[in-house]
A = this chain, B = another copy of it.
Amino acid sequence: MGIAVVGLGRLSLDAILPGLAGSKLCRLAAVMTGDKEKGQRIAAQYGAPRESVYGYDEWDRLGNDKGIDVVYLVTPNGMHCEQVKQAARIGKHVLCQKPMSNTAAEAEAMIAACADAGVLLMVAYRLQYEPHNRHAAQLVRAKTFGELKLIEAHNGQVQDKVPQWRDNLALSGGGALPDIGLYSLNFARFVTGEEPCEVMAWAWSTPGDERFTEVEENIAWQMRFPSGVVAKLSAAYDAHEARTATLHCQTARVNLDPAFPYHGIRLHVSHRSPDDPASEVEEERVIAEIDQFATEMDHMAECVLTGCAVRTPGEEGLQDQRIMEAIYQSARENRPISLPVITTKDAFRAPFAPDGGSRG
């Protein structure tokens, strides 16, 4: 499967291109970039042909490249909608970095364009393919530790002071929420298989900080699910790196710390000793790390090859956009916002299936 990587920013260079090198089913077939020289260098390093370096205005030429099956969009969020439409137009399947778009309306248009063109659209929710996250989801769904009562998650990092597209609302669609808060949001939906029916949010920024004039620095929000579970979530753009998620079940605390990075995810389970109810056992379940980017690209390739359903299709991304719009509205109006009650499990993604073994 030939993949064209669109956008050569840090995520592409540090994670996606090395991931491609370790993929079983995919190879780098082309790059699209605004900097052709950089493109040539990267193509040479990863063994893609010289002529497979495209500018952002060469979608037609790319369409003629038979070696390209999938376009992987790794560009600023605000460009995704137009680029998905282009890819659909030339008949290429699309893997789109999260967040899918700046707005729900854009997401709907992207889904429609791909459906019309008969190409697959997958959103790159790498953590839905990651074994520690999947194991946690499996524990919740199997009720291994009784009912889940409360979810806590936080994703924080210190944003670079050098100006970048993420500071720009038109390109990013928002600040900490769509960039890193989305991991917590998607995690809460994925582990429960449920959709939130109400959100309540506060967003705030440090006055005078140049990074946060257009987009929010911090956001903290609660989400209520139909089963009664509540999630307390947050994201911060000027706090020391911390990416954690905790699932408070009746007979165990399941904790991912860190929960969301590219490397080094760790899973902890605290519960009573099976031998002695007065003693506590704090387990780390050491699960072998996988390359998250190779794994999600291989999934996409498999879906293209076999026609099986994409686990995280455009609809999964659209639902996150709808919820993020409700979160922003709640923060603006300082009141809870209701969402349609959806009681179907995994309403917008492929049904959850454990991967075998304890890895859920």
Task: Knowing A22-B18, A263-B289, say if A152 contacts B150 (CB, 8 Å).
Answer: no
Tell me if B358 and A158 are in contact (CB < 8 A).
no
Contacts A21-B21, A206-B228, A285-B281; A238 near B149 (Cβ below 8 A):
yes
Q: How far is the CA of A279 from the CA of B21 in the complex (A)?
A: 25
Which of B239, B244, B279 makes the CB contact (< 8 A) with A358? B279
A218–B149 CB distance below 8 A: yes
Write the chain B residue with the least CB distance to A154.
Answer: B152
- Find out whether the CB atom of B230 lies under 8 angstroms from the CB atom of A232: no
Within 8 A of B (CB), among A213-241: 218, 220, 222, 224, 228, 230, 232, 234, 236, 238-241
Q: Does A47 contact B (CB under 8 A)?
A: yes
Q: Bin chain A's interface residue count.
A: 35 or more
Chain B residues in 8 Å Cβ range of A276: 287, 357-359
Judged by a CB distance under 8 angstroms, whether A303 is at the interface is: no
Among residues of B, the one whose C-beta sits closest to the C-beta of A282 is: B284
* Complex contact A240–B236 (CB within 8 A): no
Chain B residues near A228 (CB-CB < 8 A): 204, 206
- CB neighbours (8 Å) of A335 from chain B are 335-336
* A357 to B278 CA separation, bound complex (whole angstroms): 8
Q: How far is the CB of A237 from chain B (nearest CB, A)?
A: 9
Bound-complex Cα distance A218 to B220 (A): 19
A268-298 Cβ-contact flags toward B at 8 Å (1 or 0): 0011110110111111111111000000000
A residues sitting closer than 8 Å to B (CB atoms) are 18, 21-22, 47, 145, 147, 149-150, 152, 154, 156, 158, 200, 202, 204, 206, 218, 220, 222, 224, 228, 230, 232, 234, 236, 238-242, 244, 246, 248-253, 263, 270-273, 275-276, 278-289, 334-336, 357-359
